[in-house]
C-alpha cells in the first residue's frame, strides 16, 4: 500500500503563510502526478494544485498567485507554499499520488468525484485553519 506522509499544517491569521510537505516512496514519487486537494467542513473535496513528474503543473483559480506547488525529486517530497492565506482556505489538505499522467489536472476545475477518491493514493490529511 502506498503511504503518503503530510506535514506543515497549522493555524494562522489571515495574510499569513504555511508550507505543506508530502513525502512518499521514491518509486511512486518519480512516476506519479502529485497533487494537493482540500476539503472544508460540509463541502466536497477540491483540487488545489498538481504537478506531474516532468514538473508540468497547474493550480486552481482560487489560489492562483498565492499558492505555489513544487517538488524535490532528491527528497521524494511535494510542497505547497501558501501565502496570503484567507479564511476560505481553511480545511483539511490532502496529498495524493496518481499513476495516470495529468489526471489530477482536470480536478482543479471540478469537485473530486467518487471514482477519483477510489483511484488515488491519499495521505492522512493535515489541518489548515485561517482565522483572526
pLDDT of residue 117: 87
Q: Looking at the predicted structure, is the pLDDT value of residue 2 above 90?
A: no
Map grid coordinates 504537478 to a residue: 51
- Please tell me the predicted confidence (pLDDT) of residue 111: 85
- Output the pLDDT for position 69: 98
DSSP letters for 79-115: EEEE-S--GGG-EEEEEEEESSTTGGGGGGSS---HH
66-89 confidence digits (pLDDT tens): 999 999 999 999 999 999 999 999
Q: pLDDT per residue over 13-62, tens digit each?
A: 999 999 999 999 999 999 999 999 999 999 999 999 999 989 999 999 99
User: Where are the alpha helices (H) located in the chain, listed in sequence order?
Assistant: 26-29, 114-119
Amino acid at each position: 500500500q502506498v503511504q503518503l506522509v503530510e506535514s506543515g499544517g497549522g493555524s494562522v491569521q489571515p495574510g499569513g503563510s504555511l508550507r505543506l510537505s508530502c513525502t512518499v516512496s521514491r518509486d511512486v514519487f518519480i512516476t506519479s502526478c502529485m497533487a494537493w486537494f482540500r476539503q472544508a467542513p460540509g463541502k466536497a473535496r477540491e483540487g488545489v494544485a498538481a504537478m506531474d513528474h516532468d514538473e508540468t503543473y497547474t493550480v486552481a483559480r482560487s489560489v492562483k498567485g498565492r499558492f505555489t506547488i513544487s517538488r524535490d525529486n532528491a527528497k521524494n517530497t511535494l510542497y505547497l507554499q501558501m501565502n496570503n492565506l484567507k479564511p476560505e482556505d481553511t480545511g483539511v489538505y490532502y496529498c495524493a499520488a496518481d499513476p495516470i499522467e495529468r489526471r489530477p489536472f482536470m480536478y482543479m476545475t471540478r469537485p473530486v468525484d467518487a471514482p477519483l477518491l477510489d483511484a488515488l493514493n491519499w495521505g492522512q490529511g493535515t489541518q489548515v485553519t485561517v482565522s483572526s
